[in-house]
Structure 1
Amino acid sequence: MLNSIVTIICIALIAFILFWFFKKPEKSGQKAQQKNGYQEIRVEVMGGYTPELIVLKKSVPARIVFDRKDPSPCLDQIVFPDFGVHANLPMGE
């Protein structure tokens, strides 16, 4: 009887650990601010991009401002192949 209880507890604990590590993380989203005829959003680059998800209105020109604070060479460029954009991200700009 005790072995059955211990086995059930261990299986539940393993299931919880697997769920915790493999669950899909929620993405933080942010809507762009409306300015003089265009929409603008700021993205902080520090170990990743914050916000991870941006929401833009269709058919309204958009400006995305990246503020790079991470010196890692992995984050020194942005590429949007669908839009033909490939740009360097200088530190602090």
Structure 2
Amino acid sequence: MAVPEIIVAITAVGVIAALTCYFFGIRRSHSAQPVDGIQRVEVRVLGGHQPETIRVRQGAAAELVFDRQESGDCTGEQP
């Protein structure tokens, strides 16, 4: 193997590893905090959603508050 082929192979392995971590890596979740009997979670929208995963208790009321910090049309659409 020539040096350029080795560099390409190493780069390809690195890119595959990075993509695997990005798509299949551990996601941090955020648990809803109860306020006056309602589980409330604030979700920041800025190039994506933070937190990406939210945990709430089954059978209890939940409120999601979206803090939209971007001006893109896509995130403002109503279903």
Q: TM-score, normalised by structure 1?
A: 0.66
Gaps of 5+ in 1: 79-85, 87-93
Name the count of aligned residue pairs.
Answer: 76
Give the match for residue 13 of structure 2.
Answer: 15
Instruction: Name segments (4+ residues, structure 1) moved above 6 Å.
Output: none
- Give the residue type in structure 2 aligned to 1:53: T
- The 2-side partners of 1:66 and 1:15 are apart by 38
Cα RMSD of the aligned pairs, angstroms, is: 2.2
CA 1:58 to 1:70, structure 2 compared with 1: closer, same or farther past 3 Å?
same
Deviation at 1:19, TM superposition (A): 1.6
Q: Mean Cα displacement is larger for which, 57-66 or 15-24?
A: 15-24
1:3-22 Cα deviation digits (max 9, x unpaired): 47x45565343212222134
Higher relative contact order, structure no. (Cα contacts within 8 Å, ≥ 6 residues apart):
2
Quick one: distance in 2 between partners of 1:69 and 1:27?
Answer: 22
Larger radius of gyration: 1
Deviations 1:36-81 (A, max 9, x none): 1111000011111111111101111101111111110010035xxx
TM-score for both structures, normalised by structure 2: 0.75
Q: In 1, distance between residues paired with 2:49 and 2:77? A: 12
% same residue = 26
